[in-house]
Amino acid sequence: MSFDELKNTHVLTPKEFTIFSDCMSFFVMEYEGYFENLSFKEQVKFMKANCPFPNCKVCSKVEEWLKRKEKLKF
C-alpha cells in the first residue's frame, strides 16, 4: 500500500487528495529522515496524530482504506 496506489483510487476527492499530498510533503520536510523511514501506514498514523487541524478527516479516510485493503489480503 502506497501513496501511488492511493492516488489511483477514488478514496479521496481531488481536493482531499491535494490536501493529503500537501500534508505529506510538510511532514517529509519537517521530520526529514524519520518520516521517510516509516511505512506508508505508519506515515498516515503519524500524520493523523500530529495534524494541526482537529476537524480534518482526510487521514481517517486513508486509514479506513488501508484497513479494508489489509482485510482483503487475508
pTM for this prediction: 0.85
Domain ranges of the chain: 3-73
The three-state secondary structure class of 51 is coil
Are 60 and 48 contacting, i.e. CB atoms less than 8 angstroms apart?
yes
The tens digit of pLDDT for each residue in 9-64 reads 889 999 999 999 999 999 999 998 999 999 999 999 999 999 988 899 999 999 99
Residue 1: per-residue pLDDT:
66
